[in-house]
Amino acid sequence: MTVAVIGAGMAGAAAANTLTMAGLPVEVFDKGRSPGGRMSSKRSGDRYLDLGAQYFTARSAPFQQQLEHWLAEGVVNCWQAKCYKFEFGQLASSEDLTPRFIGKPSMQAPVRSLLGNTPLRLNCRISRLRYQQISPATTAGGWYLFDQHNSQFGPYQAVILTLPPVQLQTLLATLFQPGESGYADIHQLLLQLQPQILLPCWAVNLQLTEPIQTRADAVFVKEGNVSWLARQNSKPGRPTAAENWLVHFSPQCSVLHLHARPSELAALAKAELEMIFEQSVSVTDVLTHRWLYAQINPALTQRKPDYHQRLKLSVAGDWLMGGRVENAYLSGVAAANEVIADV
């Protein structure tokens, strides 16, 4: 019987790929219009602009191996960014020479590559789950999924959930009523989740009339309202003639302005660019995105919930392993291996 994977970000795609390689049929569901999740580039005219993950690094052997595949396949490029940092009011070259990688032509490309031909339902928000005890005699039963239109999918033998924790809590809360078999287990799992482990981030892309006069391609901003700046047109495989700077606001500033209008964030982003590079800029186009669940809250730790053998339920996502694309991948592979070992 088939395994259902909810979420087609890096964790879900890595899980689906691992299951497929092990010969298990898989179906993947995502509420978005395309796979990728927080690895997201938006097409704007002739170019892709990265609004979520900016790049990824590969530190572990399994992920380095995967990276080799992607490089050979041509879906990933190395971004040799000249990195700077802004600290104590000063812009200085950063000695950080870590190799950085980006999807080609967009951040979604390596996710799409992992998904391959796996059946994928997009625009499909799973809003309810139902579990029916599998009958040993008939093998009937298993997991049923319901989308926003109450369409039913399933049954599935096992399910892997790769949603951010707040969305995961909402979904799991639909599963059992008090007194039903399984309620106590799920209630226990819900208690383990740290909803605040992922903090918000406002992203603003500014297209400028003139290039900023700087050697920097990217800046780690250590103080003030923003956390990161990147010259999008310095990324290989992002064909754009115009100068585009992406601004990520810090978690503190993003929380403070969570319900602000995008135009207010755009004005603030322009002011930040001018302050950091000490030159005035003229903006011709703006793209904004508010990520509600973006990057890890360093003040919290999250233990991975145990695999639930009776229900055949596993949870994956970057937030279980400290954030970042690489950890999303590793957690997806780990969740798939739990299922593979069990079925």
Ligand X SMILES: Cc1cc2nc3c(=O)[nH]c(=O)nc-3n(C[C@H](O)[C@H](O)[C@H](O)COP(=O)(O)OP(=O)(O)OC[C@H]3O[C@@H](n4cnc5c(N)ncnc54)[C@H](O)[C@@H]3O)c2cc1C
For residues 11-50, which are near ligand X according to CB under 6 A? 11-12, 29-32, 37-39
What is the spatial distance between Cα 224 and Cα 270, in angstroms, rounded to a whole number?
A: 14
The least CB distance from residue 171 to ligand X, in Å, is 6
For residues 224-243, which are near ligand X according to CB under 6 A? none
Rg of the chain over Cα atoms, rounded to whole angstroms, equals: 21
Residue 287 CB partners (closer than 8 Å, separation 6+): 42, 44, 49, 51, 204, 205
Q: What size, in residues, is the chain?
A: 343
In the complex with ligand X, which residue's Cβ is closer, 134 or 297?
297
Tell whether the torsion through CA atoms of 260, 266, 267 and 271 is positive or negative. Answer: positive
Pattern of binders to ligand X over 160-199, x per CB under 6 A?
--xxx--x---x----------------------------
Distances (CA, A) of 302 to 296, 297, 299, 318, 332: 10, 10, 10, 10, 16
Q: Does 66 bind ligand X (CB under 6 A)?
A: no
Q: Does 8 bind ligand X (CB under 6 A)?
A: yes
Q: Does 290 bind ligand X (CB under 6 A)?
A: no
Q: Does 126 bind ligand X (CB under 6 A)?
A: yes
Question: What are the tokens at 66?
Answer: 């995967």
Q: Does 108 bind ligand X (CB under 6 A)?
A: no
Figure out which of the listed residues 125, 128, 187, 304 binds ligand X, where binding follows CB under 6 A: 125
Q: Does 202 bind ligand X (CB under 6 A)?
A: no
Q: Which residues in 110-124 are b (16+ Cβ under 10 Å) and which e?
A: bbbbbbeebebbeeb
Q: Does 70 bind ligand X (CB under 6 A)?
A: no
Q: Does 294 bind ligand X (CB under 6 A)?
A: yes
Question: What are the tokens at 187?
Answer: 């209630």
Interface positions with ligand X (CB under 6 A) = 6-12, 29-32, 37-39, 52-56, 125-126, 162-164, 167, 171, 201, 203, 248, 291, 294-295, 317-318, 323-325, 328
